[in-house]
Amino acid sequence: MGSIKKIVIAIFTFSFLIFVVLFGQVPALSLSPIFFTYKAVTSTSSTITKKNHEQGMRSYPYDHVLYRPGQLCRTCNFFKPARSKHCSVCNVCVAKHDHHCVWIMNCVGKGNISHFLFMLLSLSFVLTYGAYLSYVLLNQELQKSANGRLIETVKNQHWSRGLTWSQYASFWSWALGLDFRIGGVGLLALLTAPLAWTMFLYHIYLIWAGTTTNESSKWLEWREYVDRGLVYKWTGDTDGISEMHADPSVEPFVEWPIHSNQRLFRSEDGQHPDATSSQNGAPASPSRPRADLGMSFWKPVYGLHEIDNLYDLGFWDNLKDVLRPV
């Protein structure tokens, strides 16, 4: 484990001890973010090495849109598996790379994405609970203070009744300073809970879309190409296309619920593939297929909905792919 990761774990341990000192108790819910953060920080199961490279090559098929077979990682000196990426910070190739998280000082990938999601979910609940608990406790103090000033006939009414918005804010300002432990922690939880929920819900959206943070940026690039009218899709016979990459060391066969032989052509200057003379004799690839496939069947792509996402299996199957162990 790197020294930076040890520092991150030490910080979380120190934060946990401060929590115990301030509140004097440890609710079971508060332990969840610490546990899942530890798991996400220390996990190395997403790292692709020469020992597990063959397994990584058979985890996902190449879609020939975002990922092409035969792409060599010059640092790790092996072919990049589909959905993987070399992280320049960790200096390793990561399976199903989502993003490099600066908060856990580790890459979020196939091996620890589930820990990362549970970390966000549990943290969101803890922050929400902390904000609510602080509100209840401070509201009780405000009610006690109001009861001491009210006559007997109106003591049962809520302390905020009849106050203007400025008076209401002033009372809460006083309450927040009444107990620094409750007021400070509660205010911090109130401000940060929306951030945690937003991050968690964003990753739920990515699961629904069958993509990752890394892949979403790639799709944005393709959207730009489509909007500029530079993308064409082969609509002719595709029986022979799957045989173009028959070398199992470059593109091994992968058992996958969805099969697609789609091939896209990205024009550099907006010209139709029929008019692109540079295609003659060019090697086959997702962005520059061979001319002998026949250019009369190239059709322009007007939206990303016309391009198949090979990795979108539906929400529940996508979720299973995220939660299943490597």
Annotated catalytic residues are 101
**Separation of alpha carbons 265 and 230, rounded Å:** 8
**Separation of alpha carbons 312 and 214, rounded Å:** 15
Determine how many CB atoms are found less than 10 A away from the CB of residue 129: 15
Cα angle value 129/135/140 (rounded, 5°): 130
Closest CA to 138 of 192, 177, 188: 177
C-alpha distance from residue 58 to each of 218, 318, 325 (Å): 22, 17, 15
What one-letter code names the amino acid at 137?
A: L
Burial readout 131-147 (b: 16 or more C-beta within 10 A, e: otherwise): bebbbebbeebbbeebe
* Paired tokens of 35: 């546990």
* Paired tokens of 92: 């390793």
Closest CA to 53 of 319, 252, 214: 252
Helices (H), 98-179: 113-149, 165-178
**Separation of alpha carbons 121 and 178, rounded Å:** 31
Contact 288, 279 (CB under 8 A): yes
* Paired tokens of 96: 């199903």
DSSP state letter for 85: E
Contact 9, 41 (CB under 8 A): yes
Complete DSSP assignment for 202-235: HHHHHHHHT--HHHHHHHHHHHHHHHTT-EEEE-
